[in-house]
Amino acid sequence: MAASGLLNTTEVAQESVSTGVGLLAGTSILLLTLLWGTCVIAGSIQSSKPTISNTSSSRLLSWLTEFGVTTDLETSYTARIMGLSVIPFLILQVPKIFNSNSGEYLTILTSLVVSVVSLLIYFFYQIFEPWIQKRRLEYVKYDEPLLRILQLVQERALGTILTGEGAPNINAIQRLFEEIDKDGDDSISPSEVRQLLLDIKSTGMNINKDSASEELIKVLDLNDDKKITKEEFVHTFTKWLEETKYAMDKRYFTINSLKRIYQVFHPFVESKRKEHEMKRNLMSEIVSHLQSDALGNLIKEDGTPDLLAIRRLFEEIDRDEDNCISKDELKELMKKIEIGKISWDVDEAAEKIVEALDTSGDQMIDEKEFAEGIVGWTINTSENVTPVSTRSQDENNRGTWEEVDKLLEDEKTNAVDKSSWAWFKAIMSMVLGAAILSVLAEPLTQSVRNFSEDAGIPSFFVSFVLVPLATNARAATAAITTACRKKSIATSLTFSEIYGGVFMNNILGCSVLLFIIYARGLTWEFSAEVLVVLITCAIMCLAVSFRSDFPLWTSFMAFLLYPFSLFLVYVFNDVLDYV
């Protein structure tokens, strides 16, 4: 944005600043309203004893008041720091308050200096009081304590943590609990957690056993009584394993985390991959057999499926004429086919065919399911290709694990490199990143301009609504995923991350935009937008800085604040002419 504003004409620079103001305002308001409210819903747990209600309205009221989230004191501190980020916005309102434009550029310069100084103070504060950095690391490495336990599972050969079907192995998890519970009192104490961490071999990281044990207790202790029962341990560990399998598919983990997960989940992934390959070969042989059968070819000369032949085939397999193919009827079909290189027996082959063709999950294959499945596999067999969805998924999985394999074979040390060459590479990476952003800034501004012109929508509203949704989608997904853990520590870290993001967006965005305006001598016409951000941030800051419990109804109030902010922008700009 800075490159686009400084290197182009005055008209383009003014348009870039307008887009930037919309992006700044839209991002802060999006994070504090829609994302904040969604995280409250995602992390809600029952915070009080349920009340017995006879009417639907009473049940709804109890649901809105009894469920909610609880945050810690550090989250409130982060919210108060966020509130300080609106000071430059408040300074920008001074000319409008006194109805004077004579000192406009002096006000812009003052606000710019305050923004830059605030940013530097924030950086130096984190150097001398690094609790904010530690919380960000906790947010990024929330799964680290449980990853360390996976190491213990492998080192002590306590059993396979996943069954052959990929489900958590409850017996192995219980054996792990008994291994940690040294005194046999059916609960794990803080001292036993510290001993557990001492038993885990170092993986090149310096582990503080006191802080690590606190993190582990926070994750596993569901009722916050400072001890972990077997039920809590099994429940949390089982839930985490299920989440980990999903997170691997979505690539939520870093490669370093995947390195430790690899040995636990790799056998399951390989088993599923081999099973898929065998299923594909099985279906191919079945299709080949059917096409060579007396029923005729299932593909016409022009390459399209012969639906009549497929229908005759369905009727031939459907012996009881109930318009569905059962496993028993598939077994009859399999007995006629020499499966060849496939090692499954008839029962297993029939089971796999049902899995491949039954989309409704009723363990029966109706005519539509049969036709769609056979058509797909017939075309793929004739063209000797794998379906796109299957191929892409396999290639993604294979690429992920091959990358991890390479890292596992890497014998290099994990120590931090502090050489001059390392510093040079780090600085050059930052320069390269800034250069890439400079190159991409103009296309973004131009795209916003073109879209707004074609749609007949002011560019500010495009950058206020659509661009923040696109640029914050990944961070929002991570925040909601963490909040879904429904643990107080996870919820607190999520909201701290939101408040920290708003602070940086306000201060850094304000610094860049004011610098462009002052350096290029542009017109200041964004008092309304800045005032709306100030109002929204002030409301949320006052609401979250001095309390830790947020019932479910507060999420809907946050949701309403988003359209209300849009309405305020319209009123200030178009009705009151507050520019």
pLDDT tens digit sequence for 563-574: 999 999 989 988
Q: How far apart are CA 401 and CA 397, in angstroms?
A: 6
% of residues, the chain, pLDDT over 70 = 64
144-252 against 271-389: fold identical: yes
Residue 30 has pLDDT above 60, yes or no: yes
Could you tell me how many residues make up the chain?
Answer: 579
pTM, two decimals, is: 0.59
**Domain at 271-389: CATH architecture:** Orthogonal Bundle (1.10)
Residue 50 has pLDDT above 60, yes or no: no
DSSP letters spanning 269-284: HHHHHHHHHHHHHHHH
* pLDDT-based confidence at residue 228 (cuts at 50, 70, 90): confident
The more confident residue out of 240 and 532 is 532
Please give the backbone phi and psi of residue 412, each rounded to the nearest 5 degrees, phi first: -70, 155
> Which residues does 295 contact at the CB level (< 8 Å), separation at least 6?
309, 312, 313, 316
pLDDT tens digit sequence for 357-378: 777 778 888 888 887 777 766 6
List the strands of the sheet with 549-551, edge to edge. 45-46, 67-70, 549-551
* pLDDT-based confidence at residue 395 (cuts at 50, 70, 90): very low
The average pLDDT across 72-90 equals: 92
| pLDDT given at position 350 | 77
| pLDDT given at position 437 | 62
Q: How far apart are CA 380 and CA 425, in angstroms?
A: 48
Domain 144-252: CATH superfamily is: EF-hand (1.10.238.10)
pLDDT tens digit sequence for 308-347: 777 887 887 888 888 888 888 877 777 766 555 455 567 7
Which of 95-104, 280-289, 552-561 shows the lowest mean pLDDT across its residues? 280-289
CA torsion sign, 175 to 180 to 186 to 187? negative
**Is residue 519 within 8 Å of residue 95, measured between CB atoms?**
no
CATH number 1.20.1420.30 is the correct assignment for the domain at 2-139+438-575: yes
Residue 539 has pLDDT above 80, yes or no: yes
**Every domain of the chain and the residues it spans:** 2-139+438-575, 144-252, 271-389
Query: Long-range pairs for 188-191 at CB < 8 Å and ≥24 separation?
Result: 188/220, 188/227, 188/228, 188/233, 189/226, 189/227, 190/217, 190/226, 190/227
* pLDDT-based confidence at residue 400 (cuts at 50, 70, 90): very low
Q: How far apart are CA 500 and CA 131, in angstroms?
A: 12
Cα–Cα nearest to 349, from 369, 372, 331: 331
> Which residues does 335 contact at the CB level (< 8 Å), separation at least 6?
346
Q: How far apart are CA 334 and CA 317, in angstroms?
A: 11
β-sheet bridge partners, residue 550: 69
